[in-house]
C-alpha cells in the first residue's frame, strides 16, 4: 500500500473513535508538554547564568588566596592570604598577556549621607577595574589614576546604594561618611542586577584602593586581584603567565604548592551550567515517565483495535493482502496517534513554558532542537508500543479471523 493510503486509512480509523483516541493520546500530550516545559526552564536558567557571568566583566581572571593546613587538615580556599598591592604592581609590570589588573580591597561599612544610612560594602579598586568589570557610568565619572596616587577620598556609588541614600536627588557632588571618613561622590554606576549567586551587584561603593586600604581596611593583605585579557582566546595563556609571575614573586620552590588560586569566568560558567544541566536532565527524565504511560496506553488501545477489527483483518488477508501490509497499517495508525499527540503536546509545552515564565518570572527558552526531539520521540513511542499489536494483527490466521464474531 502507498504511504498516503496508509495514512488516510489510519486517520479514518482514528476518527471513528475520537474520544478514545484523545484519551489514548493524553499520556503522550502530558509527557511531551512536561518535557518541553522542564527543558525550557533549564535552558532559560543556563542562558540566565551565562548572562550573569558575562556581567561580571570582560574576559575576567580572578586571583584569590590559597589554602593552608593545620594539624594535617586543610583549612579550605582563601585560608592562607599572601596577596598584596605589590603583587598587583608586579602583574601589571611583568604580565604581557594582561590588558588590565586591579586589586579588590573589601571593607564593609555603614554609609551615612543624603536621607539616611545604608549598610553596604566598599571595594577599593584601581582605575582598570571599570574596564575589567565592563561597568558603565550612569552619571558623573569614574576616578582617575591621579586620584589613586593621591589617595583622594572620592567614591562611585552602585545604583542600589544611590537609590537608598538619595532617592530623590542626584548624588554626584554630595558627600557621604564611611566609618566617619568623608567621601565625595563623583559618580553613580549603571545597574548590573543580580550575580549568578543571587547577590546584588549594585549594592556596592567603589573607591581608590590606596584610600580604602589606608583609611578603611587597614590591612596589608588583600582578598582578591582581578585581571582581564584583550580577548577570550588569551585567557589560558594569561593564567599560565600569572601563575609563573606569582610563584616567582612569592619565592615558591618548585616542590611547593601555589599559595594562591587563579580562576576565570569559563570555570565559573562550567560549574554553574553543569549544575543546571543535571537538574534539567533529572526533570526531563521525571517528565518522560508520562511518555512511557502514554505509550502503554497506545499499545492497549491498539490491542483492543486488533480484537475489534479481527474480521476486517481476515477479509484483507483473504483477498490477497500480505501480512507485512497488515502490520504496516497498524504501525502507521500507532505512529500517527503518537505524532498527533506529540504535536498537541508541543503546543501545550509552549503554552506551559510561557505561563511558567509569566507567573514565576523565570527565563524559559524553547529551542527548535527540543521540539524536533519531542516529535521524533513521540513517533518512536508509537513505533515501539505499536509493534506488538501490529505483529499480532499480521499473524492472524485468515480462516479463524473470518469466523471471528
- As a three-state string, the secondary structure of 272-295 is HHHHHHHHHHHHHHHHHHHHHHHH
Whether the pTM exceeds 0.85: the reply is no
20-24, 88-92, 232-236 — most confident range: 88-92
CA–CA gap between residue 194 and residue 200 (Å, rounded): 5
Integer Rg of the chain from CA:
33
User: pLDDT tens-digit profile of 135-146?
Assistant: 889 999 999 999
Q: What is the mean pLDDT of residues 22-30?
A: 78
User: pLDDT tens-digit profile of 312-359?
Assistant: 767 777 776 677 777 777 777 777 778 888 888 888 888 888 888 888
Task: Decide if pLDDT at 298 tops 80.
Answer: no
Total residue count of the chain as it appears in this document: 405
User: Which one-letter DSSP state was computed for residue 203?
Assistant: S
Amino acid at each position: 500500500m502507498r504511504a498516503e493510503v496508509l495514512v488516510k486509512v489510519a486517520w479514518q480509523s482514528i476518527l471513528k473513535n475520537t474520544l478514545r483516541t484523545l484519551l489514548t493520546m493524553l499520556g503522550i500530550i502530558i509527557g511531551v508538554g512536561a518535557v518541553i516545559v522542564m527543558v525550557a526552564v533549564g535552558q532559560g536558567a543556563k542562558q540566565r547564568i551565562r548572562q550573569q557571568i558575562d556581567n561580571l566583566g570582560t574576559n575576567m581572571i580572578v586571583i584569590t588566596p590559597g589554602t593552608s593546613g593545620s594539624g594535617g587538615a586543610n583549612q579550605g580556599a582563601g585560608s592562607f592570604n599572601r596577596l598584596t598591592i605589590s603583587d598587583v604592581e608586579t602583574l601589571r609590570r611583568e604580565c604581557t598577556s594582561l590588558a588590565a589588573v586591579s586589586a579588590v580591597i573589601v571593607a564593609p561599612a555603614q554609609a551615612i549621607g543624603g536621607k539616611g544610612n545604608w549598610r553596604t560594602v566598599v571595594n577599593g579598586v584601581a582605575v582598570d577595574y571599570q574596564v575589567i568589570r565592563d561597568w558603565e557610568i550612569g552619571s558623573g565619572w569614574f576616578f582617575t589614576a591621579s586620584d589613586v596616587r593621591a589617595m583622594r577620598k572620592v567614591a562611585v556609588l552602585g545604583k542600589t546604594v544611590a537609590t537608598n541614600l538619595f532617592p530623590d536627588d542626584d548624588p554626584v557632588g554630595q558627600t557621604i561618611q564611611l566609618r566617619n571618613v568623608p567621601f565625595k561622590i563623583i559618580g553613580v554606576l549603571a545597574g548590573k542586577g543580580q550575580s549568578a549567586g543571587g547577590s546584588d551587584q549594585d549594592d556596592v561603593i567603589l573607591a581608590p584602593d590606596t584610600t580604602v586600604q589606608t583609611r578603611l581596611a587597614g590591612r596589608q593583605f588583600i582578598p582578591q586581584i582581578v585581571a582581564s585579557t584583550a580577548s577570550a582566546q588569551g585567557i589560558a595563556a594569561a593564567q599560565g603567565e600569572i601563575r609563573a609571575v606569582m610563584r616567582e614573586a612569592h619565592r615558591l620552590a618548585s616542590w611547593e604548592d601555589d599559595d594562591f588560586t587563579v580562576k576565570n569566568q569559563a570555570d565559573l560558567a562550567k560549574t554553574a551550567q553543569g549544575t543546571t544541566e543535571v537538574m534539567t536532565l533529572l526533570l526531563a527524565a521525571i517528565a518522560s515517565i508520562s511518555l512511557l504511560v502514554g505509550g502503554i496506553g497506545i499499545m492497549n488501545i491498539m490491542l483492543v483495535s486488533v480484537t475489534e477489527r479481527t474480521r476486517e483483518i481476515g477479509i484483507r488477508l483473504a483477498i490477497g493482502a500480505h501480512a507485512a501490509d497488515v502490520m504496516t497499517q497498524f504501525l502507521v495508525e500507532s505512529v500517527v496517534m503518537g505524532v498527533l499527540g506529540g504535536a498537541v503536546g508541543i503546543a501545550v509545552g509552549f503554552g506551559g513554558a510561557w505561563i511558567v515564565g509569566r507567573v514565576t518570572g523565570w527565563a524559559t527558552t524553547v529551542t527548535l532542537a527540543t521540539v524536533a526531539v519531542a516529535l521524533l520521540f513521540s513517533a518512536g513511542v508509537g513505533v515501539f508500543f505499536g509493534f506488538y499489536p501490529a505483529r499480532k494483527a499480521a499473524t492472524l490466521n485468515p480462516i479463524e479471523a473470518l469466523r471471528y464474531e
